[in-house]
Amino acid sequence: MNIRWCTKTVPTAISASPDSVRFIYRQQPLRTKSLSGYVMIAASRDKLDRDVRKLNEPVYLVLSSVLLLSLFVFFAFARILSRPVSKLTHAANELRQGNFSVEIDHKSGAAELAELNDALEQLRDALLEARNRNEDFNRQLENEIKARTNDLELTRLRLLEAQEVAELGNYEIDLESGDWNASETIYAIFKISADYPLQDNSWKLLLNPANTMLVENLFRDSVKYGTAFQQDLRITPENNPLFERWISISGKAIRDESSNVHIIRGTIQDITKRKRIENEVRRLSLVAEKTSNCVIITDTNREIIWVNESTLSLTEYSRAEIIGQTPAMFQFEKTGDEKRAYIRERLNNLREVKTEVLNRSKSGKEYWLDLNIVPLFDDENAHIGFMAVEIDITERVKFEQELKESEENFRAILENSSEMIHTIDNDGKLIWANRSWKEKLGVANLEIDGLDLVQFLDGKTLEEFQRVIPSLMRGENVTDLNCVFLSTEGSALNLQGRAIPIYKDNVIIGSQAYLHDITSIRKAENDLRQLLELTQHQNERLRNFTHIVSHNLRSHSSNLSGLIQLMRLEFPEFKDNVYFSNFQTALSNLTDVIYNLSEVALIQTEDDKEMLQIEVNSVIENAIASVYGIAETAGVEIRFTKTNNFVVKGDRAYLDSIVLNLLTNAIKYKAEGRSAFVEISVSEADECVRIDVRDNGLGIDLERQGRKLFGMYKTFHKHPDARGVGLFLTKNQVEAMGGRIEVQSVVDEGSVFSVFLPSQTKTE
């Protein structure tokens, strides 16, 4: 007799239906340490029968041989041995009926019968033994099956528990009828009540349309190909859109007895929590992996177990080269022993590290890191390693160093500037001053940091500073700083310059002033001002003097004239006295001189004379008219051709006097022996009106006399009327009108006097 175990692993579900007619059949899910799945124990009833038959075959064969032999013996010795044969027949019948305990009589027959009896007896014993063995085996098998069944039951219960804990539930859907079934866990997952209808594919309402379609496709494929399926789904049921969950659905189409497939059976697990954690973890790992910061994770021995991409690109090592090493591999001699010791000490005490270090890459490139190392602990607060987050600050450090260098350069420039430069804080305390500042204020050998600026200021400057400080505090520049600083030796420095607010982190922390020493300039200015004041004062005195002199002289000369007039009236006999007539002439000359003097004084003192528009042509015509008489008498022709009506700005009386004077001179100093003429012409020249008075008279030796021509009391001809005042007066009058006078002359040929006066476009 032979029995075989038939075991078969079914991937996810029980797939065979029990056929209790053909098999002795047990199936149980099984989960052990090494394997999981379903155990099917099946014993085929046919096979079992066959095996039993096979076992019994030799017995029947022997038995039938014995029977044939017995029959033969019986028929051969029937007559002789009728009694023993009937006994044998009885024993054989007994044996045939399975009664192995039949008595076999050795003494009842002949010798052959006795042998036959022996053989029969052996056969009986052998049969007995075989039966007993069979019974034992069956008993063992039964026990074994019972034990396995208990195990399976236990496993099933555990599995149910596990399902509940894992939020895993079974379902079964009949695709034909639309009826379906599900375990309690599934009710819990979908939050459906116990009386939820389980017909008409109502399960579809638990999924949204897209998911329903997807699931139906899975079912269809499974039915078509007989394969199992598994799918994660995000479900938002139509009847409850706010209820969002992740589920994992698995299953397989099941074949029934008639090989029809319309049952889907499987499990659904709520994986919302897992999914959320997964998403979170995926995001975090993405961040860690892709961040531009370097992330390095080590175990407790500081051996690197994970690094991100940035670390690889910065250090230029491959992952294989880094994993298992300690981060000390990135350090080198310039990293600094102090820093290394500090990091070691902090890590030994499981304290956070925050520092900046200089490390070196595989190719020798040096880089600065802003390093932050935190010890890592698990849920039980056990130390499990370290995580370092590093930011590459090489550029920043480089920039800072460059900044520092350029700052030093600037400072050197400021330090050596000839300007005086100081920096004060908001309380007016000196922070810094350059060499020039210190030298000029006599504090070259002193520490000025913290000194009060006030001690260097005079009272007025203090007010000035109080004026400008609010502007500086508002962030405005002060460009018109004038101040007086007092040096320690007591000398005062006149300074001029500007001040600007200085910032730190966008907050005004003080101000810087750039001052240059204008003491010598100030002194020169003062000297000049004093000189000017002195000159003005003297001018004023001179003016008064001129005025008084001319006024008083006029009083006296007019009194003298009056007295002589009266004397002549009252004493007519004096008329013929030589002294009296000379006295009269002298007095007349004196009066003229005084008149001229006061005229000149008048021109020079009347600075603010009102300037009017004068028509040049009319002035000339008037002058010609007044000299007409003397010109006629002297036989001098006066030529004047009117052109444009030029207008100048000035004093009418002056211009009258100028033209008259020049005309009179030309007539007065005519040359004898040729027909004399005076020609007047007016033209425009360089925004000026030019009046030329040309004669063919005596002319002037300009080489000898030119310098003195317009001087006072200079006469150049022994003419009876020459008094030497005319040209001096003319020049003064021309200049008082803002013009100039020029002369060209050749002795014995004639002269041209040219007067240039500022033109004034006549307003029509």
Q: What is the C-alpha separation between 261 and 252, in angstroms, rounded?
A: 10
Q: How far is the CB of 620 from other proteins (least distance, A)?
A: 24
Establish if 549 lies at the interface with other proteins (CB under 8 A): no
404: part of which helix (H) or strand (E)?
A: helix 394-416
Q: How far is the CB of 693 from other proteins (least distance, A)?
A: 27
Establish if 563 lies at the interface with other proteins (CB under 8 A): yes
Task: Point out which span in 283-291, 431-439, 543-551, 638-646 binds other proteins (CB under 8 A).
Answer: 543-551
Binder among 415, 439, 458, 599 for other proteins (CB under 8 A): 599
Nearer to other proteins, 278 or 606 (CB): 606
Binder among 87, 275, 547, 708 for other proteins (CB under 8 A): 547
Q: What is the C-alpha separation between 145 and 150, in angstroms, rounded?
A: 9
Give start and end residues of each alpha helix (H) in 571-615.
Answer: 578-605
Do 182 and 191 contact (CB within 8 A), yes or no?
Answer: no
Nearer to other proteins, 489 or 570 (CB): 570
Q: How far is the CB of 584 from other proteins (least distance, A)?
A: 14
Establish if 425 lies at the interface with other proteins (CB under 8 A): no
Q: What is the C-alpha separation between 608 and 586, in angstroms, rounded?
A: 35
Touching other proteins, residues 480-539 (CB under 8 A): none
Q: How far is the CB of 468 from other proteins (least distance, A)?
A: 48
Q: What is the C-alpha separation between 98 and 638, in angstroms, rounded?
A: 194
Q: How far is the CB of 602 from other proteins (least distance, A)?
A: 7
For residue 306, the number of C-alpha atoms closer than 13 Å in the C-beta half-sphere is 13
Q: How far is the CB of 581 from other proteins (least distance, A)?
A: 20
Task: Point out which span in 19-27, 111-119, 401-409, 557-565 binds other proteins (CB under 8 A).
Answer: 557-565
Establish if 255 lies at the interface with other proteins (CB under 8 A): no
Q: How far is the CB of 558 from other proteins (least distance, A)?
A: 4
Establish if 566 lies at the interface with other proteins (CB under 8 A): yes
Q: How far is the CB of 604 from other proteins (least distance, A)?
A: 13
Binder among 552, 577, 588, 683 for other proteins (CB under 8 A): 552
All residues at 6 or more sequence positions from 213 whose CB lies less than 8 Å from its CB, including other chains: none
- Residue with structure tokens 């000839």? 418
Nearer to other proteins, 100 or 595 (CB): 595
Binder among 148, 516, 554, 652 for other proteins (CB under 8 A): 554
Q: How far is the CB of 697 from other proteins (least distance, A)?
A: 31
Establish if 598 lies at the interface with other proteins (CB under 8 A): yes
Nearer to other proteins, 552 or 643 (CB): 552
CA-nearest of 513, 516, 458 to 487 is 458
Nearer to other proteins, 110 or 566 (CB): 566
Touching other proteins, residues 291-330 (CB under 8 A): none
Binder among 86, 559, 588, 618 for other proteins (CB under 8 A): 559
SS3 209: helix
Q: How far is the CB of 547 from other proteins (least distance, A)?
A: 7
Binder among 70, 230, 471, 561 for other proteins (CB under 8 A): 561
**Phi, psi for residue 196 in degrees, rounded to 5:** -65, 130
All residues at 6 or more sequence positions from 382 whose CB lies less than 8 Å from its CB, including other chains: none
Q: How far is the CB of 598 from other proteins (least distance, A)?
A: 5
Binder among 569, 576, 578, 720 for other proteins (CB under 8 A): 569
Here's the x/- map for other proteins, 684-723, by CB under 8 A: it reads as: ----------------------------------------
85, with CB counted inside 10 A (0-12, 13-18, 19+), is buried
Q: Which two tokens stand for residue 41?
A: 């124990």
Nearer to other proteins, 216 or 656 (CB): 656
Establish if 444 lies at the interface with other proteins (CB under 8 A): no
Q: How far is the CB of 656 from other proteins (least distance, A)?
A: 15
Nearer to other proteins, 379 or 570 (CB): 570
Q: How many residues bind other proteins (CB under 8 A)?
A: 19
554, 600, 607 from 549: Cα distances, Å:
8, 12, 19
422: left (phi over 0), alpha (psi -120 to 50) or beta: beta
Here's the x/- map for other proteins, 638-677, by CB under 8 A: it reads as: ----------------------------------------
**Strand 740-746, strand 750-758: pairing:** antiparallel
Q: What is the C-alpha separation between 545 and 276, in angstroms, rounded?
A: 112
The percent of the chain in helix, strand and coil, each rounded to the nearest 5, is 50, 25, 25
**Phi, psi for residue 354 in degrees, rounded to 5:** -135, 115
Establish if 602 lies at the interface with other proteins (CB under 8 A): yes
Q: What is the C-alpha separation between 205 and 237, in angstroms, rounded?
A: 7
Q: What is the C-alpha separation between 229 and 215, in angstroms, rounded?
A: 10
Exposure string over 229-247, b if 16+ CB within 10 A, otherwise e: beeebebebeeeeeeebbb
Q: What is the C-alpha separation between 297 and 323, in angstroms, rounded?
A: 10
Q: How far is the CB of 542 from other proteins (least distance, A)?
A: 16
Q: How far is the CB of 615 from other proteins (least distance, A)?
A: 22
* DSSP secondary structure, 333-365, as one string: GGG-HHHHHHHHHHHHTT--EEEEEEEE-TTS-
Q: What is the C-alpha separation between 597 and 604, in angstroms, rounded?
A: 11
Nearer to other proteins, 338 or 608 (CB): 608
Q: How far is the CB of 711 from other proteins (least distance, A)?
A: 23
Establish if 558 lies at the interface with other proteins (CB under 8 A): yes
Nearer to other proteins, 583 or 677 (CB): 583
Helix axes 652-668, 616-634, angle to 10 degrees: 30
Binding residues for other proteins (CB under 8 A): 547, 550-552, 554-555, 558-559, 561-563, 566, 569-570, 595, 598-599, 602, 606
